Amino acid sequence: MRLFLTGGTGFIGQAVARKAISLGHRVTALVRPGGSASASALAHLGVNLHSGDLREPQSFAAVAAAADGVMHTASTNDASAAAVDEAAVVAMLTQLQPGAAFVYTSGAWVYGNTEGLPATETSALNPTPLIAWRPAVEQHVLALAARRSIGAVILRPAMVHGYGGGIFGMLAGMARQSGSVRIVGDGRNHWPAVHVDDLATAYLSAVERAAGGDSRVAGQIFNVVAEEAVAVAEIGEATRASVGADRVVPWPLDDARQSLGSFADALALDQAVSGQHARRVLAWKPHGSGLIADLSAQGRFQQINGA
């Protein structure tokens, strides 16, 4: 398949590109002008690079339209994220040919606190403020795609880990600087988790099946979750051990908001999320290490390499 990927130099996008190339697909990735080490790594894999700007849909929409499938993993991750995301998906979906596939990246944070019960794709949504706009974009994607006979799929990944990247890499970096791991709240909350390589496998299953006209996949939403609920207290301790920090320190939510804004509310969520629907319909079988084991392995790797 000819695939177009946004966010190819990002944590998730790099894993998706690796998986797509390994399966023999022809991949074009949107990259920022000027080049970067991450873009060079994509090129080395065999990915075709298209220079453009997510904030300027006209810079890439026509290239996306030539693809059999689009996987949209990019975000500005700032105050403009909602408007930029909306404009980008509308531009691509408007130009994609009927019969093409479009995979949109949402996330488990749209469920908010799940009150101890595993959320499924039919659960009510209560998005944390940081991504309160996402459910509306999800529905816009599904509606516009249906009108244009495009096989759209919404993926809602859990907290993504692997290779010391993503949010967990950020938390580890903060711990190295301060000497302690700060967890928002008291640590009694839980996060669902998925390894980035397993997430990439889900993207490729979704885009291939949607492009193939699988009615069980096109127009559907899937949680991509390997572990339903991992205790944040355990995550904090594993992070502490991995970076050699002194201690794990509770961070009151009001105080955390002063530094992190609404991101703090997302980190304070207490969630259990089911990934069984993706396992059944996408035939998705996660094989990556669990979150705690992955954090521990990262610590051992750094010790061996003197980091």
Average pLDDT over residues 12-32: 97
Q: Supply 125's token pair.
A: 């949504």
Per-residue pLDDT at 172 exceeds 70: yes
**Residue 34 pLDDT level (bands cut at 50, 70, 90):** confident
Cβ within 8 Å of residue 47, ≥6 positions away: 5, 8, 17, 21, 27, 28, 29
**Residue 306 pLDDT level (bands cut at 50, 70, 90):** very low
Q: Tens digits of per-residue pLDDT, 215-225?
A: 999 999 999 99
Per-residue pLDDT at 49 exceeds 60: yes
Q: Supply 296's token pair.
A: 């521990």
- What angle do the packed helices 196-211 and 11-22 form, to 10 degrees? 60
**Residue 148 pLDDT level (bands cut at 50, 70, 90):** very high
pLDDT attached to residue 307? 47
**Residue 265 pLDDT level (bands cut at 50, 70, 90):** very high
pLDDT attached to residue 304? 41
In a 10 Å sphere around its CB, with 0-12 CB exposed, 13-18 middle and 19+ buried, how is residue 77 labelled? exposed
Average pLDDT over residues 9-23: 97
SS3 102: strand
Residue ranges and CATH numbers for the domains of the chain are 2-160+193-224 (3.40.50.720), 164-192+227-273+284-304 (3.90.25)
CA distance 212 to 114: 34
pLDDT attached to residue 300? 55
Q: Tens digits of per-residue pLDDT, 153-171?
A: 999 999 999 999 999 999 9
Cβ within 8 Å of residue 59, ≥6 positions away: 51, 52, 53
Average pLDDT over residues 193-211: 98
CA distance 194 to 244: 24
What is the gyration radius of the CA atoms in the chain, in angstroms? 19
CA distance 215 to 104: 17
